[in-house]
Amino acid sequence: MTKNQPVTELISKSVEETKNIARNLILRNSAYPICLYGDLGTGKTIFAKGAADELGIDGEKIKSPTFNFVREYTLVNGTFSHCDLYRLDEIDEILAEQLEEAYEKGPVIIEWAEKAEKVLPFIRTDVFFEYIDENKRLIKIHGR
């Protein structure tokens, strides 16, 4: 994060509020990747499910990829890509190309985006999740 970036800070008090934040963000920002950062259990996958719901995909289909780092879902006018890089040690050339192709097909959400930092586009939205308590999360949205 650099200074002078627009920052929005929100407190989510429920799974549904986190999904609503994602729904609103994907509507305003489907042209650039949305990169998610935060510890396990802070709401990144819940956020991805909310975005998918807004795009017309059943959010319950959004799961962390088991063997592939990227899962694609067909939209009427393109593809929604959900990337989960949790198991990634180091990004390789093939995955970097796969991400680049995903950006061109439609909306992209990348969980554990810090693991791909060196290949992420400069223009993107970074979303940081912080655990407050069992039901509350601090969500910081940084537009680039």
What pLDDT, on a 0 to 100 scale, did the predictor assign at position 6?
63
What pLDDT, on a 0 to 100 scale, did the predictor assign at position 73?
92
The answer to whether 107 touches 55, Cβ cutoff 8 Å, is yes
What pLDDT, on a 0 to 100 scale, did the predictor assign at position 8?
92
Residue 98 lies in a domain: yes
Residue 74 lies in a domain: yes
Q: How many domains does the chain fold into?
A: 1
What pLDDT, on a 0 to 100 scale, did the predictor assign at position 59?
84
Pairing between β-strand 34-37 and β-strand 108-111 as defined by DSSP bridges: parallel
Residue 54 lies in a domain: yes
| Backbone angles phi and psi of 140, in degrees to 5 | -110, 125
The answer to whether 21 touches 50, Cβ cutoff 8 Å, is yes
In this predicted model, what pLDDT tens digit does every residue of 130-139 receive, in sequence order? 999 999 999 9
Domain span at residue 105 reads 7-85+92-143
What pLDDT, on a 0 to 100 scale, did the predictor assign at position 20?
96
Q: Mean pLDDT, consecutive 10-residue segments, the chain of 144 residues?
A: 69 96 90 94 94 91 76 91 89 90 94 92 95 95 86
CA atoms within 13 A on the CB side of 29: 21
Residue 97 lies in a domain: yes
Torsion angle in degrees (nearest 10) through CA of 1, 117, 23, 58? -160
Q: State the CATH number of the domain containing residue 24.
A: 3.40.50.300
What pLDDT, on a 0 to 100 scale, did the predictor assign at position 29?
82
Stated pTM of the model: 0.91
